[in-house]
C-alpha cells in the first residue's frame, strides 16, 4: 500500500506509475496540515478496510510530510510494519527520509507524537526534483548547507562553487551532493540513533528556526527558510560569545544570500514573540532553549544554554 502526496499524480503521473504499478494508493493532501493524529487515524482505518495485514508494507511517495505521516503509520499499525521511503523533495531526499525519525504534530507542537522507525530502504530519484518549485528546492538546499556546516567543510566549498548548477540542474553534481549529505547524516544517526547526545548537532540552525516557524508568522516561511535564518542567528551568537572562528558568519550569509534564502528576521516578528516561542520549544529544558554553535566548520558544540541578553542582542541585529 502506498501513501502518495496529492500533487504527484498531477506533476509526476508517469514516474509514479512506473514505481507503483498496481499497488493501491492513498492520497495525502498537500501540506503540513496532513501531519495530524486525525489523518493518522483516517489512513489507519483505510489500511484496515483495504485488508492490509501485519505482514504488509507501506511505501511513502512524497516530501517530508508524506514520509513523516507514512512512517508514523507504519510504526504504529499493528505495532509496527515495514516501510520504504521514496522521497520526492530535496529536503526529504537529504534529510527527512534518512535517520528514522517519524512524527505527526499536535496543535502548536510540531512532531510531538512519533517514533524512531527506520525505513527498510530509501530510494532518492532525482528526476522527481524536476517538477519541484524553485522555492522548495532552495529550502531543501538550506538543510544541505546545514549538513556541510556541521560536518564537512569540503561540501560547503562545493555548495558555494557549484551553487547555480545545484539549484537549477538535476545532474551529477546534485546527485553527488545529495549522496554526501545522506552519508553525513547517516554517520551521525549511526552513532546516536535516539538523540541522547551527538544527534543534536543536526539541530544546528533549528533553535531559532523552529521559533520562527511556530511563531504564527504570516505569510509563513518554509522550514528550510527558517533554518537558514536560524544558522545566521547561531553563528551571530557564536561571534558574540567569542566562540567561532572569525569570518564564518559572513561566509554563511553570503552563501545563503546567493541561494536567495533569508538572513534577516521579518519586520513583523518581534524579539519578544520569538523569546516566548523559544521557551515553549519541545527541546527546551526547564524553559531554557538549547543551542548548537560552531567552534569552526565541522566542529559543532551542542546542548548549549545561551544568555538571554546575548540572544536579544542578536535578534536585534537580525532585524536591522
Ligand atoms: N523526520 C525527519 O527527520 C524530518 C527532518 C526534516 C523535516 N521533516 C519534516 O518534513 C516536512 C517538510 O518536508 P518537505 O519540505 O518535503 O515538505 P512537503 O512534504 O510539504 O513538500 C513540499 C511541497 O512540495 C510538493 N511536492 C512534493 N514532491 C514534489 C515533486 N516531486 N514535484 C513538485 N512538487 C512536489 C508537495 O506537494 C508540497 O507542496 C516537515 O513536516 C518537517 O517536519 C522531518
Ligand atoms: Zn530541518
pLDDT, one tens digit per residue, over 85-120 is 999 999 999 999 999 999 999 987 889 999 999 999
Catalytic residue among 21, 54, 79, 309: 79
- 204 and 142 in one domain? yes
Write down the pLDDT at residue 282.
61
Confidence (pLDDT) at 284: 66
Closest ligand to C-alpha of residue 210 is 2
Nearest CA to ligand 1 atom 13: 64
- The answer to whether the CB of 64 is under 6 A from ligand 1 is yes
What is the pLDDT, as a whole number, of residue 75?
A: 98
Catalytic residue among 136, 160, 193, 195: 195
Indicate if 87 and 228 belong to the same structural domain.
no
203 assigned to active site: yes
Ligand 1 close to Cβ of residue 32 (< 6 A): yes
Q: What is the pTM of this model?
A: 0.96
Which of 96, 131, 166 is where one domain is finished? 131
- Res. 170: pLDDT tops 70: yes
Ligand 1 pocket member 12 (CB < 6 A): yes
User: 19 pLDDT exceeds 70?
Assistant: yes
Q: 171 with 210, same domain?
A: yes
Specify whether 199 is located in the same domain as 295.
yes
Do 233 and 216 touch, CB atoms closer than 8 A?
A: no
Q: Which residue has the cell 489507519?
A: 44
Catalytic residue among 200, 206, 213, 253: 206
pLDDT above 80: residue 285? no
Q: Which of 146, 203, 213, 225 is catalytic?
A: 203
> What pLDDT, on a 0 to 100 scale, did the predictor assign at position 307?
93
Q: In the chain, what is the straight-line distance between the N-terminal and C-terminal CA atoms, in Å?
A: 50
Q: Are residues 7 and 60 in the same domain?
A: yes
Let me know whether 124 and 169 are in one domain: no
Q: Which of 101, 106, 54, 62 is nearest to 82 (CA)?
A: 54
Same domain, yes or no: 92 and 144: no
- For residue 84, pLDDT beyond 70: yes
**Residue 286 scores a pLDDT above 70:** no
Tell whether ligand 1 has an atom less than 6 A from the beta carbon of residue 210.
no
Split into its structural domains, the chain has a count of 2
Residue 277 pLDDT > 90: no
Same domain? 173 vs 282: yes
Ligand 2 midpoint to CA 53 (Å) = 33
Q: Are residues 169 and 75 in the same domain?
A: no
Q: 107: domain CATH number? A: 3.40.50.1970
Residue after which a domain boundary falls, among 106, 131, 156: 131
Mean of the pLDDT values across residues 227-239? 98
Mean of the pLDDT values across residues 4-28?
Answer: 97
Categorize the per-residue pLDDT at 320 as very low, low, confident or very high, splitting at 50, 70 and 90: confident
Ligand 2 center to residue 85 CA distance, Å? 17
**Which H or E run contains 80?**
none
Q: Do the beta carbons of residue 249 and residue 235 sit within 8 Å?
A: yes
Q: Mean pLDDT across the chain, nearest whole number?
A: 95
CB of 62 sitting under 6 A from ligand 1: yes
State residue 215's pLDDT score: 87
Q: Within this chain, do residues 111 and 31 fall inside the same structural domain, yes or no? A: yes
CATH number at residue 218: 1.20.1090.10
CA 49 to ligand 2 centroid distance, Å: 34
> Cis bond leading into 25, ω under 30°?
no
Q: Centre a 10 Å sphere on the Cβ of residue 172 and count the other Cβ atoms it contains.
A: 10
Q: What is the pLDDT of residue 299?
A: 98
- In angstroms, what is the span from residue 132 Cα to ligand 1's centroid? 10
How many angstroms from the chain centroid is the CA of residue 232? 17
pLDDT above 90 (res 176):
yes
Q: How far is the CA of 99 from the centre of ligand 2 (A)?
A: 12
Final residue in a domain of this structure, among 112, 131, 150: 131
Domain of residue 183, residue span: 134-319
Count of H-run helices and E-run strands, the chain? 14, 9
pLDDT for 279: 79
pLDDT of residue 108: 74
What does the pLDDT read at residue 283? 65
> Is 70 exceeded by the pLDDT of residue 16?
yes
CA of 214 relative to ligand 1 center, distance in Å: 17
Higher pLDDT, residue 238 or 288: 238
Closest ligand to C-alpha of residue 67 is 1
- Does one domain contain both 40 and 139? no
What local confidence, expressed as pLDDT, does residue 109 receive?
82
Residues 141, 29 within the same domain? no
- Which pLDDT belongs to residue 278? 86
101 is catalytic: yes
d(CA 90, CA 273): 30
> Which of 185, 180, 183 shows the shortest CA–CA distance to 199?
185
CB distance 99 to ligand 1 below 6 Å:
yes
- Concerning whether 117 is annotated as a catalytic residue, the answer is no
Out of 62, 109, 118, 201, give the residue to mutate to test ligand 1, the one with the largest number of ligand atoms within 8 Å of its CB.
Answer: 62
d(CA 225, CA 143): 9
pLDDT at 216: 84
Amino acid at each position: 500500500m502506498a501513501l502518495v502526496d496529492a500533487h504527484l499524480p498531477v506533476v509526476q503521473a508517469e514516474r509514479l506509475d512506473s514505481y507503483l504499478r498496481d499497488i493501491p494508493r492513498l492520497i495525502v493532501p498537500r501540506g503540513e496540515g496532513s501531519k495530524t493524529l486525525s489523518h493518522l487515524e483516517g489512513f489507519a482505518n483505510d489500511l484496515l478496510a483495504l485488508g492490509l495485514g501485519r505482514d504488509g508494507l507501506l511505501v511513502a511517495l512524497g516530501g517530508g510530510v508524506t514520509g513523516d505521516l507514512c512512517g508514523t503509520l507504519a510504526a504504529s499499525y499493528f505495532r509496527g510494519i515495514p516501510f520504504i521511503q521514496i522521497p520526492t523533495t530535496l529536503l526529504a531526499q537529504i534529510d527527512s527520509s534518512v535517520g528514522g525519525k517519524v512524527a505527526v504534530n499536535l496543535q502548536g507542537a510540531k512532531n510531538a507524537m512519533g517514533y524512531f522507525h527506520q525505513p527498510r530502504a530509501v530510494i532518492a530519484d532525482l528526476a522527481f526534483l524536476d517538477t519541484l518549485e524553485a522555492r522548495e528546492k532552495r529550502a531543501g538546499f538550506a538543510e544541505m548547507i546545514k549538513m556541510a556546516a556541521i560536518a564537512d567543510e569540503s561540501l560547503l566549498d562545493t555548495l558555494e562553487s557549484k551553487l547555480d548548477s545545484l539549484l537549477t540542474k538535476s545532474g551529477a553534481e546534485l546527485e553527488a551532493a545529495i549522496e554526501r549529505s545522506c552519508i553525513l547524516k547517516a554517520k551521525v544517526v549511526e552513532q546516536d540513533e535516539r538523540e541522547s547526545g551527538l544527534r543534536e548537532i543536526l539541530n544546528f540552525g533549528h533553535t531559532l528556526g523552529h521559533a520562527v516557524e511556530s511563531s504564527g508568522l504570516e505569510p509563513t516561511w518554509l522550514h528550510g527558510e527558517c533554518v537558514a535564518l536560524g544558522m545566521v542567528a547561531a553563528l551571530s551568537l557564536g561571534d558574540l560569545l567569542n566562540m567561532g572562528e572569525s569570518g564564518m558568519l559572513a561566509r554563511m550569509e553570503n552563501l545563503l544570500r546567493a541561494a536567495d534564502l533569508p538572513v534577516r528576521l521579518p519586520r513583523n516578528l518581534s524579539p519578544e514573540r520569538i523569546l516566548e516561542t523559544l521557551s515553549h520549544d519541545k527541546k527546551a529544558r526547564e524553559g531554557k532553549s538549547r543551542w548548537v554553535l560552531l567552534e569552526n566548520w565541522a566542529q559543532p558544540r551542542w546542548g548549549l544554554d545561551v544568555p538571554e541578553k546575548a540572544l536579544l542582542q542578536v535578534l536585534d541585529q537580525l532585524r536591522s
